[in-house]
Structure 1
């Protein structure tokens, strides 16, 4: 008995489609491989550049920036760039203000002026505003050191401490976190960093004195 064959079992169209898809797959694999290699090169480039930039800053800059980003994501930019401490229970705003003014007479930072900011605000009859006092401090020698290094530091002068009451009635003392400025100053010499650290330390002492109402 003769075996019969189906003359139409082989389809040139199907074979061409198969070869086309195989070719397309090879092209896609090649493109993805090239793209992956390119991404690795780009990441390596930015890593090397980042290392070069990091060397020009303080060694602890990365830690300071990490803490800044954490506070920024948890709260907001205003909280991330400041240091603030609450007044101790029983200490009034008036006591804190008097403590700061008294301590400044013996401080390395001279109290230039204080502003009762809430008194400058124009309010409608019957409206009230919360207490806000700004203290401005300066030290001639420290300022000269900073300005000799970089005149742009003038925008951070004079150094300020704010004494205020928030919307919940809690009283605070707050100042700019100079840690970010200290760690993020590129190629700063030892003397410049030392002066910034001294200023930061003295501002924190003033805030601690005010928060505890020490006279």
Structure 2
């Protein structure tokens, strides 16, 4: 790793280059970027011992409501796969918690943010049966070019998303 970067900071740096640096970059430069260490770009928390997926989901919904976030979408992908006849499907449920006004401000600032809004939290059953909550690391999406007021709003959303995912992992009501 170059300099004093830890693996996580290096991953964050790479994603920052992609997300923020490429927002206005030449397509030829973007095509040269060929690999991203995806696990280094996410927040991944295991459910605490004794916390069920439904308790984690309920905790996230309650915390989101308390923090004035909206549940703007829910995708029950495991149910969809089962309905399509896929056998032996592990849980994959996606919840999108959002502050619509901040999301709109970010997309108005730069349309590329529409593809990277960090509002998705997935409930995933791992290969060994343990359950996890995971989301894109929202800290990777901040741009130095962002106006100060928008940066403050984005920081507030990031703090809220971290509280939501942590409440879910802990089963905190």
Displacement, 1:69?
Answer: 6.9
- Measured in 2, the distance between the counterparts of 1:65 and 1:214 equals 27
User: Number of matched residues?
Assistant: 147
| Matched position secondary structure for 1:120 | helix
Gaps of 5+ in 1: 1-61
* 1:107 and 2:67 matched: yes
Change (3 A) 1:129 1:65: closer
Counterpart for residue 11 of structure 1: none
Structure-1 separation of matches of 2:148 and 2:63: 28
Deviation of 1:102 (Å)? 2.3
CA–CA separation in structure 2 for the residues paired with 1:80 and 1:143 = 24
Partner SS, residue 168 of structure 1: coil
Q: Supply the distance in 2 between the matched residues of 1:89 and 1:165 (Cα, whole angstroms).
A: 14
From 64, 67, 85, give the equivalent of 1:123: 85
Residues 194-209 of structure 1: matches in 2 within 5 Å?
194-209=152-167
Structure with larger Rg: 1
Alpha-carbon deviation of 1:64? Answer: 9.1
Is contact 2:118–2:138 with CA below 8 Å preserved after alignment?
no
Q: How far is 1:67 from its partner?
A: 3.4
2:96 is the counterpart of 1:145: no
TM-score if structure 2 supplies the norm length? Answer: 0.74
Q: Which residue does 2:10 correspond to in 1?
A: 67
Query: What's the RMSD between the two structures over aligned residues?
Result: 2.7
Check if 1:135 corresponds to 2:95: yes
Q: Is the 8 A contact 2:57 2:168 kept in 1?
A: yes
> Is this contact kept in 2: 1:108–1:202, CA < 8 A?
no
Which structure has greater helix proportion? 1
- Aligned with residue 51 of structure 2, among 91, 95, 117: 91
Distance 1:129 1:139, change over 3 A: same
